[in-house]
Chain A
Amino acid sequence: MKKKNNILKIEHLSVAYGPIKAVKKVNLEVNQGECVALIGANGAGKTSLLKSILGIQKAEKGNIFFLGNDIGRKTTDKIVSLGLCLIPEGHIIFSSMTVLENLQLGAYHNPSDFDENIKRVFNYFPILQERSGQIAGTLSGGEQQMLSMGRALMSKPKLILVDEPSLGLAPKIVTDIFDIILELNREGYSILLAEQNAKKALECSHRCYVMKTGEIAVAGFSRELMDDPKIRQAYLGGS
Chain B
Amino acid sequence: MEIFIAQLVSGIALGSIYVLLVTGFNLMLLVAKIIQFAYPQIVVISMYTCWGVLQLTDNKFLVILAGIAVSIILNILSEPIFRKITTTQGVDINASFVASMGMAMVIMDIMSHSINYGFPVAFPSEWVGGNLLSFGLITVSKGQLYALIGSIIAVLIFFYLLYRTNQGRFFRAIAENRFAACLVGIPIIKTSVFSYFIVGVLGGITAILFSMLIGSVSPWLGEFVALKMLAVSIVAGLGNLKGGLVCGLILGILETMAMGYISGSWSNVIAFVVMLVVVLIKPQGLFGSKI
Contacts and interface: CB of A to CB of B under 8 A. Distances in A.
A94 interface: yes
Nearest to A75: B187
Given A76-B182, A97-B173, 20 more contacts: A76-B183, A77-B187, A77-B188, A80-B185, A92-B177, A92-B179, A92-B180, A94-B173, A94-B180, A96-B172, A101-B169, A104-B169, A105-B169, A105-B186, A108-B184, A109-B185, A151-B184, A152-B183, A155-B184, A155-B185
A217 B249 CA distance: 66
A77 B176 contact: no
A108 B185 contact: yes
A92 B181 CA distance: 10
A92 B173 contact: no
Contacts of B172: 94, 96-97
A86 B184 CA distance: 8
A95 interface: yes
Contacts of B181: 105
Interface residues of A, number: 25
26 contacts: A56-B183, A76-B188, A77-B185, A77-B186, A77-B187, A80-B185, A81-B185, A85-B185, A86-B183, A88-B180, A92-B177, A92-B180, A94-B173, A94-B180, A95-B176, A95-B177, A96-B172, A97-B172, A97-B173, A97-B176, A105-B170, A105-B181, A108-B170, A108-B184, A152-B183, A155-B184
Interface string A87-110: 010001111110001001110110
A92 B186 CA distance: 15
Contacts, number: 62
Contacts of B184: 80, 105-106, 108, 151, 155
A92 B187 CA distance: 18
Tell me which of A93, A104, A108 has the highest count of chain B C-beta atoms within 10 A of its own C-beta.
Answer: A108
Which 9 pairs between the two chains have the least Cβ-Cβ distance?
A80-B185, A77-B187, A92-B180, A77-B185, A109-B185, A108-B185, A94-B176, A105-B184, A76-B182
Tell me which of A95, A105, A155 has the highest count of chain B C-beta atoms within 10 A of its own C-beta.
Answer: A105
Nearest to A54: B183
Interface string A47-89: 0000000101000000000000000000111001100011010
A92 B176 contact: no
Contacts of A93: 177, 180
Nearest to B185: A80
Contacts of A108: 170, 184-186
A66 to B, nearest CB: 14
Contacts of B187: 75, 77
Contact of B183 (A88, A96, A97, A104): A88
Nearest to A109: B185
Given A101-B169, A104-B169, A105-B169, A85 B183 contact: yes
Contacts of B183: 54, 56, 76, 80, 85-86, 88, 92, 152
